[in-house]
Chains A and B, each alone.
Chain A
Amino acid sequence: MGRKPRLAVFKFASCDGCQLSLLDLENELLAIGEALKIAYFLEASRRVLRGPYDIGLVEGSISTPHDLEYIKEVRQRCRKLVTIGACATAGGIQALRNWKGSAELIKYVYPTPEYLETLDKSTPISEHVSVDFELRGCPINKYQLLEVISAFLAGRAPNIPNHSVCVECKLNGNVCIMVAKGVPCLGPVTQAGCGALCPSYSRGCYGCYGPKESANTAFLSKHFIRLGMSKEETIRFFHQFNAWASEFRKVEKEVV
């Protein structure tokens, strides 16, 4: 057998939850450590092995001048670059600043804003460098992460479905809460991956996996208004953890 593939995990603006998913794979963690050389994963190890890395996992969004440069360096050091989670794939919850600009918000949080360096917008990694695969979710599904890593090790495409949460709901045998109870739900426009968690817990999906391919947000937002939501509430519903994803971002223009 040749050398073990090297795995690196990088963090940008984020909550650490997606890289934590790797450590939350309690039953698989030691096997992962056998199959791969964990070469750079600061949350788990103080050992730092030099790149290049075979797989680089990137968590977090780009929101500072430093990170804007650093991501380019990270890209160069990784053969395959996989972004994990809503921050890395869509700018995350912190992208809500993108509408107001960070300067005004910083004043609100810090007494001496000059000490801080941040960009006006929080943006996904793919806006700055090429990305080999985007794994969605806030947080990601740890078993999907395992699938992505396994796929790259085997040199095949990851088997990550891109249908909507509705499909998962049907597979779970859930009664549609939007049809049966009139609960607003982003399931029809949100990519699967969570296992239709919210509808299974009697609440509407709030879109943590981001827009599915060719999502019909215009129709759904009209439906929300028919259900009694105001225009403002409808826009706010889409503007959560994947607010800056283009299909969700454009809702404010669609709702009239």
Chain B
Amino acid sequence: MSEKTREYKVDYLARVEGEGALYIKVRGGEVVDVKFRIFEPPRLFEAILIGRMYHEIPDITARICGICPIAYQMSSVHAIEQIFGVSVGGPLRELRRLVYCGEWIESHFLHAFLLHLPDFLGYDDAIQMAKDHPEQVKTALRVKKIGNDIVALLGGREVHPINVRVGGFYKVPTKDRLYHLKNDLKQGKQLTIQLLEWVSKLDFPEFELDYEFVSLKHPREYPQNEGLIVSNRGLEISADEFEEYFIEEQVQHSNALHTYIKGRGSYMVGPLARINLNRDMLYDGVREMLQQVGFPQPCINPFMSIIARVAETLYAFEESLRIVDEYVEPERPAVEYEVKGGRGCACTEAPRGILYHRYDLSPDGKVVSAKIIPPTAQNQKRIEDDLRIMAPSIIKLPRQKAVWRFEQAVRNYDPCISCATHFLRFELDEE
């Protein structure tokens, strides 16, 4: 065969959050270059934060991402509470879990049904898909709305909620108010079960790989706000140790820093990693559903992450129902604390995977330095590695199909490029 060079390019990736591009170069049947480029303009959040007060951090970092603002608020309040030496327990902890469940539901359903599913069924978007599958799309939108309603009830609004603060909330709902959610939650659970059955029957491209999966792990619950960072290859560290084990590097073709595990390389975070590492912490009903639909344990086909997203949504509904049932209105909307200086680190499970925040505060509570590593920055290197490994078989497809398949492979990770770019910080090299 000749040394013919072929290029596969997607200049503006669609159905992802933010601006990215794909570039794959093939010479004589061999893949010579793979780039998942992020060209979203940098917004320099970590620099903007310097000099701001600790209590502004949750509101400012929420603006990194319109899709998962709760994740930013949760990682930041936990890091700051570590500095102040307070822990938020009881009903306030439960409410944080509930608002996070709301975000998982809306974010997972946005991605699974509006952004990812059209790839499997061959539509450009969900609105066109709705012409042939109106019931399923309407059902998915209904479920997504229930997730948004949870966030809006506890946070004030769906995008950039205003009610989360260091120590808890500005205002907590009455038992009665929360109880109003119950019928919707029950409905959401039933609808999610139907959709889980449906997405499990999709035609999944054959691809399996021995990934290193990374997620939080908690001894008593499916992980969200607390736990150690673990992997299927023996990693087990606290958030304080994150920067000793995970390294960031800047590459010329991307406005987002790449992350890898020291000495090992790329890894996967997100729903597939979480579900593989924490399947025992799901409710029995969710586990049984997964078994019934034939979801492998572990699942190492990234195209099946869509099932993991819907299964986690089902978990989020079960968990929300439990929280609503057991809720007792706390005496105060937030615990009291004393402002102190120091360093705090926290990792929480954003819909797309672990989100790391680290802050140094001055004694009067001003930000001295900040570091934020979002899940998409962590998955970025993994995405490129997937494309490289899949490329030899994908390029056998007709050109248009090949390009589409490459896009679908990127969407397996639900990349949030807005997030990835806005952080990417690092301190200047030691010298």
Chain A contact residues, CB within 8 Å of chain B: 11-18, 20-21, 23-24, 26-27, 29-30, 33, 38, 41-48, 60, 63-64, 67, 92-94, 96-97, 102, 104-112, 115-116, 118, 122, 138-139, 194, 197-198, 200-203, 206, 208, 233, 236, 240-241
B426, A111: Cβ atoms closer than 8 Å: yes
Name the residue on B nearest A28 (C-beta). B141
Q: Which residues of A contact B64 (CB under 8 A)?
A: 15
Interface residues of B in 312-326 (CB under 8 A from A): none
Pairwise interchain contact B69-A194, C-beta atoms closer than 8 A: no
Task: State the CA gap A128–B420 with chains docked (Å).
Answer: 27
Contact flag A198-B156 (CB < 8 Å), given A23-B110, A26-B148, A42-B12? yes
Contact for A17 among B14, B60, B66, B255, CB less than 8 A: B66
B16 CB within 8 Å of chain A: yes
Interface flag for B197 (CB, 8 Å): no
What B residues does A13 contact at CB under 8 A?
40-41, 43
| Bound: A118/B257 CA distance, A | 16
Which of B66, B114, B157 is in CB contact (< 8 Å) with A16?
B66
In the bound complex, residues from chain B placing their C-beta under 8 Å from that of A118 are 41-42
Q: Is the CB of A20 within 8 A of B67?
A: yes
SS class, residues of chain B in contact with chain A: loop
B 43-87 binary contact with A (CB < 8 Å = 1; else 0): 111111010110010011001111101000000000000000000
Does B407 sit within 8 A of A, measured CB to CB? yes
Q: Are A139 and B426 in contact (CB under 8 A)?
A: no
Task: Tell me whether A44 and B114 are in contact in the complex, defined as CB-CB below 8 angstroms, given that A16-B418, A138-B63, A201-B156 are known contacts.
Answer: yes
Asked whether, in the complex, the Cβ of A46 is within 8 Å of the Cβ of B407, the reply is yes
A201→B113 CA distance, assembly (Å): 33
Q: Is B125 an interface residue (CB 8 A)?
A: yes
A47-B128, A102-B44, A202-B333 given. 16 additional CB < 8 A pairs?
A: A16-B18, A24-B148, A24-B158, A24-B159, A30-B137, A46-B14, A48-B14, A92-B43, A94-B44, A96-B48, A105-B44, A108-B44, A109-B46, A109-B47, A116-B42, A197-B156
Contacts of B114 in A (CB 8 A): 23, 44
Given contact pairs A30-B137, A106-B44, A110-B257, A206 touches B19 in the complex (Cβ within 8 A): no
Residues in B with CB closer than 8 Å to A116 are 42, 255
Which residues from chain B contact A93 at a C-beta distance below 8 Å?
A: 43, 45, 48, 60, 63
**For A94, what are the chain B residues with a Cβ–Cβ distance below 8 Å?**
43-45, 48
A110 touches B124 (CB 8 A): no
Roughly how many angstroms separate A208 CA and B40 CA in the complex, as a whole number?
A: 23
Q: Using Cβ atoms and an 8 Å threshold, which residues of chain B touch A18?
A: 66, 159
**Contact call A38/B125, Cβ cutoff below 8 A:** yes
Cβ–Cβ contact B47 & A201, under 8 A: no
- Also in contact, A45 and B44, with CB within 8 A (given A11-B19, A110-B426, A139-B66): no
Is B209 on the interface with A (CB-CB < 8 A)?
Answer: no
Give 25 CB contacts A-B under 8 Å: A16-B65, A16-B416, A24-B158, A26-B141, A27-B145, A30-B138, A30-B141, A33-B127, A43-B16, A93-B43, A93-B63, A94-B45, A96-B48, A97-B44, A106-B42, A106-B44, A108-B50, A110-B426, A116-B42, A139-B160, A201-B162, A203-B165, A206-B162, A236-B52, A240-B60
The answer, yes or no, to whether B357 is at the interface (CB within 8 Å) is no
Contact A38 B44 (CB under 8 A): no
Instruction: Give the distance to chain B from A124, nearest Cβ to Cβ, in Å.
Output: 14
Asked if B183 is an interface residue, CB under 8 A from chain A, the answer is no
| A26 and B60 contact, CB distance less than 8 A | no
Cα distance A42–B114 when bound, in Å?
12
Task: Report yes or no: A45 in contact with B47, Cβ–Cβ below 8 A.
Answer: no
- Whether A46 and B124, one on each chain, are in contact in the complex, defined by CB atoms closer than 8 angstroms, is yes
Q: Assuming A15-B65, A110-B42, is B17 touching A43 (CB within 8 A)?
A: yes
The residues in B between 196 and 221 inclusive whose CB is less than 8 angstroms from any CB of A are none
Which of B63, B148, B333 has the most chain A CB atoms closer than 10 A to its own CB? B63
Residues of chain B in range 6-44 having any CB-CB distance to chain A below 8 Å: 12-19, 40-44
Question: Which residue numbers of B lie inside 8 Å of A, CB to CB?
Answer: 12-19, 40-48, 50, 52-53, 56, 59-60, 63-67, 69, 106, 110, 114-115, 118, 124-128, 130, 134, 137-138, 141-142, 144-145, 148, 156-160, 162-163, 165, 170-171, 250, 252, 255, 257, 333, 407, 416, 418, 422-429
Decide if B137 touches A202 in the complex (CB within 8 Å). Answer: no
| A contact residues around B47 at 8 Å (CB) | 97, 104-106, 108-109
**Nearest CB of chain A from residue B16's CB, rounded to whole Å:** 7
In Å, the complex CA distance between A92 and B422 comes to 13
Interface residue from A38, A108, A194, A203 paired with B157 (Cβ < 8 Å): A194
Question: Which residues of B sit under 8 angstroms from A240, Cβ to Cβ?
Answer: 56, 59-60
Are B48 and A97 interface neighbours, CB within 8 A?
yes
Select A197's contact among B17, B130, B162, B424, beta carbons within 8 Å: B162
Give the residue name and chain of the B residue nearest to A96 (CB). B48
Contact B158 A108 (CB under 8 A): no
CA of A138 to CA of B59, assembled, Å = 11
- A14/B418 contact (C-beta < 8 A), A138-B63, A236-B53 known: yes
Q: Looking across the interface, which residue of chain A has its beta carbon closest to that of B69?
A: A17
Distance in angstroms between the alpha carbons of A13 and B45 in the assembled complex: 12
Distance in angstroms from A160 CB to nearest chain B CB is 17
A110 and B66 form a contact (CB under 8 A):
no
Query: Which residues from A are CB-within-8-Å of B160?
Result: 17, 138-139, 208
Q: Are A107 and B428 within 8 A (Cβ)?
A: yes
| Complex contacts, B106 vs chain A, CB 8 Å | 24
Contact at A105–B48, with CB atoms within 8 Å? yes
Q: How far is the CB of B174 from chain A (nearest CB, A)?
A: 14
Instruction: Give the docked Cα–Cα distance between A63 and B141 (Å).
Output: 34
Q: In the complex the two chains form, is B15's CB within 8 Å of A29's CB?
A: no
The residues of B that contact A104 with a CB separation of less than 8 Å are 47
Residue of A nearest to B140 (CB): A26
In whole angstroms, what is the CA distance A108 to B257 when docked? 13
